[in-house]
């Protein structure tokens, strides 16, 4: 198994992130604790000094495994499903800037909260059909960007309390099936997040095994968003299934920085590695 930790380039926003702000300090801490990769949460792509970032990750032999786009939605309200074309356009342009960054590191791009949500339950099925088409159109343009340096995308099922679009692994799988003739679906995988799955999936490890061929990235967080081992999720069964299915991607910890960032990052890795070695 390969492990990474989520770090936010910004000091504020988006709660379940261990390291925030000083990117150099985040990279140094991740390396010192034994992580092989880092997952970045970026809300201002223009603020990234690519040369400096490349130098840092190369010096410390870390991989930038994925880049999250959730802060673009949570902080600026930009999404692929907004009824206003101008807002969707701005969301696309921000993601394109993140593609520029991701292409330098062969990182995957996470499409989570930035897909947005439907504003009411009235005539929901019709609204969902329209919304999925908007998401498809935005994804299609993003996938077409960078004809030479193509990067892969990750669609993350998120629980019903945060969005009403794509709550389960099955939802994402069905969406990809519906658009398989129109999208480069071979470049879109599922990000399976145990925190969201604990709410939406009947049995987490069974769902993972069922959709393992689509799962390209995994987030670990316990039922309370703390580090694995501080809630009730059965990570023994989950790791057992990932090993059985020869999962080759990263496991990334997207957890609350409690009781403090270093302790949470340290305990998360120790707990999961102990299970893996059994």
Are the beta carbons of 41 and 7 closer than 8 angstroms?
Answer: yes
Residue 14, pLDDT > 80, answer: no
**Bridging pattern class, strands 108-111 and 63-68:** parallel
Residue-level pLDDT at 171: 98
The token pair that represents 131 in the structure block: 């919304």
Residue-level pLDDT at 121: 79
Distance (Å, whole) CA 104 – CA 10: 20
Which listed CATH number (1.10.3470.10, 3.20.20.60, 3.20.20.150, 3.40.640.10) goes with 2-276? 3.20.20.150
Residue-level pLDDT at 162: 96
Residue-level pLDDT at 15: 75
| SS3 sequence of 168-232 | CHHHHHHHHHHCCCCCCHHHEEEEEEHHHHHHHCCCHHHHHHHCCCCEEEEEECCCCCCCCCCCC
Residue-level pLDDT at 190: 98
Q: Using alpha carbons only, what angle is made at residue 194 by residues 260 and 204, rounded to the nearest 5 degrees? A: 150
- pLDDT tens digits along 213-258: 999 999 999 999 999 999 999 999 999 999 999 999 999 999 999 9
Say which DSSP state 37 is in: E
Q: Looking at residues 57-75, what average pLDDT do you find?
A: 95
Share of the chain above pLDDT 90, in %: 92
Q: Looking at residues 49-61, what average pLDDT do you find?
A: 94
Are the beta carbons of 117 and 165 closer than 8 angstroms?
Answer: yes
Residue-level pLDDT at 13: 62
H or E element that contains 10: none
Q: What are phi and psi of 40, to 5 degrees?
A: -100, 135
- pLDDT tens digits along 146-156: 877 789 999 99
C-alpha dist (Å) from residue 12 to 43, 116, 264? 10, 20, 18
Instruction: Give domain limits for the chain.
Output: 2-276
Considering the entire predicted model, what is its pTM? Answer: 0.96
Residue 120, pLDDT > 90, answer: no
- Active-site amino acid positions: 156, 254
Residue 12, pLDDT > 80, answer: no
Are the beta carbons of 218 and 242 closer than 8 angstroms?
Answer: yes
Are the beta carbons of 116 and 72 closer than 8 angstroms?
Answer: no
């Amino acid at each position: 198994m390969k492990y990474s930790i989520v770090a936010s380039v910004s000091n504020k926003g988006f709660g379940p992130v261990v390291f925030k702000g000083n990117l150099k300090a985040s990279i140094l801490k991740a390396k010192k604790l034994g992580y092989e990769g880092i997952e970045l949460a970026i809300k201002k792509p223009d603020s990234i000094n690519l040369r400096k970032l490349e130098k840092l990750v190369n010096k410390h032999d870390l991989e930038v495994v994925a880049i999250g786009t959730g802060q673009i939605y949570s902080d600026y309200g930009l999404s692929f499903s907004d009824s206003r074309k101008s807002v969707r356009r701005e969301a696309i342009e921000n993601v394109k800037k993140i593609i520029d960054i991701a292409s330098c590191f062969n990182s995957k791009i996470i499409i989570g909260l930035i897909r947005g949500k439907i504003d009411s339950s009235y005539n929901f099925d019709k609204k969902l059909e329209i919304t999925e088409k908007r998401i498809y159109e935005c994804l299609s343009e993003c996938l077409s960007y960078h004809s030479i340096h193509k990067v892969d995308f990750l669609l993350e099922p998120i629980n019903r309390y945060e969005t009403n679009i794509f709550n389960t692994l099955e939802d994402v799988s069905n969406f990809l099936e519906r658009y398989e003739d129109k999208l480069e679906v071979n470049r879109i995988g599922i990000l399976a997040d145990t925190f969201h799955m604990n709410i939406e999936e009947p049995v987490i490890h069974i769902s993972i095994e069922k959709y393992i061929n689509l799962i390209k990235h995994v987030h670990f967080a316990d039922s309370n968003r703390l580090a694995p081992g501080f809630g009730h999720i059965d990570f023994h069964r989950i790791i057992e299934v990932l090993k059985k299915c020869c999962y080759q991607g990263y496991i990334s910890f997207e957890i609350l920085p409690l009781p403090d960032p270093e302790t949470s990052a340290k305990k998360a890795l120790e707990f999961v590695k102990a299970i893996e070695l059994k």
